[in-house]
A and B are shown apart, each in its own frame.
Chain A
Amino acid sequence: MHTPFRILLAVLALALGTSVPAAELLNVSYDPTRELYKEVNDRFIQYWKAEHGELPRVRMSHGGSGKQARAVIDGLKADVVTLALAWDIQAIAERGLIEPGWRSELPHNSAPYTSTIVFLVRRGNPKNVRDWNDLGTPGIAVVTPNPKTSGGARWNYLAAWGAIIRTGGSEAEAEAFMTRLFRSVPVLDTGARGSTTTFVQRGIGDVLLVWENEAMLILEQFGRDQFEIIRPRLSVLAEPTVAVVDKVVRQRGNEELARSYLEFLYTPVGQTLAAKHHFRPRDLTVLKANADKFPSLDLFTVDDFFGGWDAVQAEHFANGGRFDRIFAAREK
């Protein structure tokens, strides 16, 4: 036999030998969780091996939250989805891929870690921005992505709206405030990372409305000598949610693996990793251990305060909703 042929055979045998189907999982997530899940996956694989003796594979897909949800709807075979807001998972559920009632499958409304919306300002806070009512005033330019194209930015909008209402403002006052706020936005990017670039790299704007975990990441990457985080007194509790895609895991027979993966996020190890990657942990012990990092704030939730995503979507973000009206008013 010729040597090249023998090598080929050997390679084939090897390939066949190793292609015994190992348990595999596809986690479809959104952008800022890249670093978090890289570490979670490594730890989970070890954990699963210790329990079951086999090494599972976890593959990741990252992108804008809404885009990822649409990919799953259009046929991307995700076993679990870990997205920026419950509304995106709800959209998948409405198309029959996830069973209704998914939000009560896991503790804390299926949101294993949380965050909130904070202000990122330039070092020294030259415009002296302290709280929400400092925004929308002359001379202060606010950078935020478009809540219609960015799931993450919907939290920005809701944080501002809720803060005005919670401090005694009427709906008319809140709408007037939002109009002033969005009038001061010089660049309305389509995604959260785009806004970060606009604020950080292009030097545009005085305040960036941003997730707390993203703000910490910016400080880490660009240095504390350039920016600082201002936490408003009131803000929204951003709850990135997770769910098993029932239809897919049943087809592929890895339901146990998928559930165990999401439950792992709630274990002390998972919670510690979340905290390390700047998400607020749900576990009170882990939260206490990170108290310096996550000062306690007055946070309101979408469910309690706005009556859930369906209501929010219909009132604020649907065609002709409040957000569209704010922009129509912006022109006059």
Chain B
Amino acid sequence: MSDQNAMLMLQRPRRRRPLHPGFRLTLGITLAYLGLLVLMPITAAVLKALELDWATFRELATSERAQAAYRVSFGLSLAAATINLVMGTLTAWVLVRYRFPGRRLVDAMIDLPFALPTAVAGIALATLYAQNGWLGAWLAPLGIKVAFTPLGILVALVFIGLPFVVRTVQPALQDLDRSLEEAAASLGASRFQALRWVVLRHLAPAALTGFTLAFSRAIGEYGSVIFIAGNIPFVSEIAPLLIVVHLEQYDYAGATVIAVAMLALSFALLLVINLLQRHTPGSQSRR
């Protein structure tokens, strides 16, 4: 501690007041709000699942069919989020760095997957990609089936996750000081090197945040997927559908078992991604 700091501390009253007022109040409100909105429903789900004994819980949570459904849900969500990571970053780049006619229109279009009811998205995609749909009719002769296959699920998940990466990367890209790139260039970096070491490095944390959001959203997605998936057990049955299957049998406990298993898996994955993010070069949150 430097002398100057020690002096400052001496001058201050013993109980340090935070810089902004209302710390306790806002923290209290936040915790109560999150507790009510997030923690309570999750607790209710966990408690319901705990009504079952451990052996039944494990059997239901790890049955072959459930495992197949987790693989479909988590695997395709990861794939969809990865596609969105690449394409979303590219889209943000084009929207921020280039001026072209209709740019604002394209920019506004990005949010459409958010605004559209998911069922409408699912039905529209299924109509397009079915064997008699506009796109499906072209793909069928090539032997590519999209609707009612896992590929169809992927299309739906990419669609609903599209805005996340674009919307997180855009502001980061706007904030990026172009003089940094110019400095890199004047220091002898090639265009590719400047892109790789200056731009992408700066964008990585934002892009990863977008990736996480797109991924989490995809895991829980039900409405749009159900119309295009085919829903065949072991092939194209997503984990949320398995929850509904249990519910339709009035098997509330069974439904919450799958829900709790999904929750645990998602939480573990999100934790890993968060840790990754901390170690991403250029991250501000590194400590």
Binding site for B on A (CB under 8 A): 66-67, 69-70, 73, 91, 146, 148-151, 185-190, 194, 197-198, 201-204, 313, 317-319, 324, 327-328, 330-331
- Chain B residues lying within 8 Å of A330, measured Cβ to Cβ, are 233-234
Q: A202-B131, A204-B131, A319-B60 are in contact. Are A327 and B248 (CB under 8 A)?
A: no
Smallest Cβ distance from B148 to chain A, in angstroms? 5
Quick one: which of B131, B133, B241 contacts A190, CB cutoff 8 A?
Answer: B241
List, in ascending order, chain A residues with CB within 8 A of B163's CB.
Answer: none
Q: Decide if A319 touches B249 in the complex (CB within 8 Å).
A: yes
**Measured between alpha carbons, how far is A151 from B247 in the docked complex, in Å?**
12
Knowing that A190-B241, A202-B126 are A-B contacts, what are 16 other residue pairs whose CB atoms are under 8 Å apart, sorted by A's residue number?
Answer: A66-B247, A70-B247, A146-B245, A148-B245, A149-B248, A186-B148, A187-B148, A187-B230, A187-B231, A188-B231, A188-B233, A190-B231, A201-B127, A201-B130, A204-B148, A319-B249
Q: Which residues of B contact A67 (CB under 8 A)?
A: 248
Q: How far is the CA of A324 from the CA of B63 in the complex (A)?
A: 11
Q: Quick one: closest A residue to B64, CB to CB?
A: A328
Known: A149-B244, A187-B148, A204-B130. A91 touches B230 (CB 8 A): no
Residue of A whose beta carbon sits closest to that of B123? A197
Report Cα–Cα, A210/B250, bound state, in Å: 24
For the complex formed, measure the closest distance between the CB of B135 and the CB atoms of chain A, giving whole angstroms.
Answer: 13
Instruction: Show 17 residue pairs from A and B whose CB-CB distance is below 8 angstroms, ordered by the A residue.
Output: A70-B250, A185-B232, A186-B148, A187-B230, A187-B232, A188-B230, A188-B233, A190-B226, A201-B130, A202-B126, A203-B132, A204-B130, A313-B249, A318-B249, A319-B249, A330-B233, A330-B234
Shortest CB-to-CB span from A312 to chain B, Å, is 12
Q: Is B230 in contact with A324, judged by CB distance below 8 angstroms?
A: no
Residue B146 at the A interface, CB < 8 A?
A: no
- B249 proximity list for chain A (CB < 8 A): 148, 313, 317-319
| Chain A neighbourhood of B254, CB < 8 A | 319
What residues of chain B lie closer than 8 Å to A186, measured between beta carbons?
148, 230
How far in angstroms is the closest Cβ of chain A from B225?
11
Give bound CA distance, A126 to B133, whole Å. Answer: 22
- Whether the Cβ atoms of B148 and A331 lie closer than 8 Å is no
Give Cα A204–Cα B152 distance, bound, in whole angstroms.
15
Question: How distant is the Cα of A154 from the Cα of B254 in the complex, in angstroms?
Answer: 20
| Residues of A close to B147: CB separation below 8 A | 202
User: With A and B bound together, what is the CA distance between A148 and B245 in angstroms?
Assistant: 6
Residues of chain A with a CB closer than 8 A to B234's CB: 327, 330-331
Q: Which of B131, B132, B230, B248 has the most CB atoms of chain A within a 10 A radius of its CB?
A: B248
Q: How far is the CA of A152 from the CA of B241 in the complex (A)?
A: 18
How far does the Cβ of B173 sit from chain A's closest Cβ, in whole Å?
41
Query: In whole Å, how far is A329's beta carbon from the nearest beta carbon of chain B?
Result: 11
Q: Once bound together, how far apart are the Cα atoms of A69 and B249, in whole Å?
A: 11
B65 interface hit (Cβ, 8 Å): yes
- Assess whether B57 is interfacial by the CB under 8 Å rule: no
Interface assignment of B227: CB less than 8 Å from any CB of chain A = yes
CB distance from A181 to the nearest CB of B (A): 14
Which 6 A-B pairs give the minimum distances between C-beta atoms?
A202-B130, A66-B248, A203-B132, A188-B231, A327-B233, A187-B148
Q: B251 at interface (Cβ–Cβ under 8 A)?
A: yes
> Please, which residues of chain A bring their CB within 8 A of the CB of B126?
202
CB closest chain-B residue, reference A145: B231
